[in-house]
């Protein structure tokens, strides 16, 4: 049987740009969840509001922690959380700016941790079990060019070792760690065709990941099918780490 999220309320961040977050929102909605869609660019709320009654768009700059706290508190209780929004600043290591390192730490550590903290408080006060997935990256475990500031995200988003421990036993925290997915962000990161070809060839499966494959792993980790999995993660990396 298919995964069923009927009766549950999900919060997904960063789905405005039709990337992994968008597909996750659609899949959760199709599986019966009501979805709070936290997006940055307010113009994207128009397409989100067309998704129908089960989707509740919220516009907030998640780089602004006060605004984020306010917005997520206003949202009220949710059962599952997907920390997906992020920025990847692409800069060669020797030229990586201090601002980029700050941004990397903010997105990699601060935003997902604060998001989880706020949501976990709500789960605890309502006495409901919950599940959270951080969309991390295989870059948590391997070095890739121009991603010095992004590695911060990977390292901290990989909850197996470093994400905040589950605040209560009934709140599970996991990650997915994809290789390149050809979203807006993925296309920018692999825009040099020669680099992209060589990188793809290094994957044992000779492919990048499809957003759908990432979404399937996210939904599995959010669902009761992974009831005994916490502080762990799934690589959606076409075998890259094993190469
Ligand atoms: P997209 O660029 O498609 O989407 C990123 C989303 O994050 C956008 O909706 C964007 O909204 C949102 N976002 C960025 N800044 C803010 C902000 N200040 N406040 C609120 N939202 C914000 O990215 P992907 O779908 O590719 O990436 C999703 C996740 O997957 C990220 O965590 C990324 O690190 C991870 N990942 C992606 C890979 C890839 O190759 N694509 C590979 C490995 C991991 P807006 O445009 O409105 O600012």
Distance 135 CA to ligand 1 centre (A): 9
pLDDT string in tens for the chain (243-residue length): 689 999 999 999 998 788 999 999 999 999 999 999 999 988 888 787 787 789 999 999 998 999 999 999 999 999 999 999 988 888 998 999 999 988 888 887 788 888 988 998 888 888 888 999 999 999 888 878 777 777 544 433 334 334 445 555 478 889 999 999 999 999 998 999 999 999 999 999 999 999 999 999 999 999 999 999 988 889 999 999 998
Centroid of ligand 1 to alpha carbon of 187 (angstroms): 12
Instruction: Give the number of the atom of ligand 1 that is nearest the alpha carbon of residue 180.
Output: 40
Q: Which of 30, 36, 32, 31 is nearest to 10 (CA)?
A: 36
In the chain, how long is the greatest CA-to-CA distance?
52
Phi first, then psi, for residue 132 (nearest 5°) are: -130, 140
User: Which ranges of 56-207 would DSSP assign to H, the alpha helix?
Assistant: 65-75, 98-105, 111-126, 151-157, 184-189, 193-202
Which residue numbers are catalytic?
150
Pocket of ligand 1 contains residue 115 by CB under 6 Å: no
| CA–CA dist 87, 106 (Å, integer) | 10
- Cβ–ligand 1 distance for 64 under 6 Å, the answer no
Residue nearest to atom 36 of ligand 1 (CA): 137
* CA gap 51, 45 in Å, rounded: 10
* ipTM of the modeled complex: 0.96
């Amino acid at each position: 049987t298919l995964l069923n999220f009927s009766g549950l309320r999900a919060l997904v961040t960063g789905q405005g740009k039709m990337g992994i977050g968008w597909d996750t929102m659609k899949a959760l909605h199709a599986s019966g969840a009501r979805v709070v869609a936290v997006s940055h660019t307010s113009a994207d709320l128009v397409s989100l509001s067309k998704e129908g009654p089960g989707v509740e768009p919220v516009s907030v700059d998640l780089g602004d922690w006060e605004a984020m706290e306010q917005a997520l508190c206003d949202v009220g209780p949710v059962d599952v959380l997907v920390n997906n929004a992020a920025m990847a600043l692409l800069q060669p290591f020797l030229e990586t700016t201090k601002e980029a390192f700050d941004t990397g730490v903010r997105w990699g550590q601060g935003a997902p941790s604060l998001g989880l903290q706020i949501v976990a408080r709500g789960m605890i006060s309502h006495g409901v079990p919950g599940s959270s997935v951080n969309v991390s990256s295989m870059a948590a475990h391997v070095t890739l060019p121009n991603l010095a500031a992004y590695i911060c995200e990977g390292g901290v988003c990989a909850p197996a070792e470093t994400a905040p421990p589950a605040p209560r036993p009934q709140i599970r925290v996991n990650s997915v760690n994809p290789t390149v997915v050809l979203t807006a962000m993925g296309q920018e990161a692999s825009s040099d065709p020669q680099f992209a070809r060589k990188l793809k060839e290094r994957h044992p499966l000779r492919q990048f990941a499809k957003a759908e494959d990432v979404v399937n792993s996210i939904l599995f980790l959010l669902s009761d099918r992974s009831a005994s999995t916490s502080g762990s993660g799934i690589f959606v990396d076409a075998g890259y780490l094993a190469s």
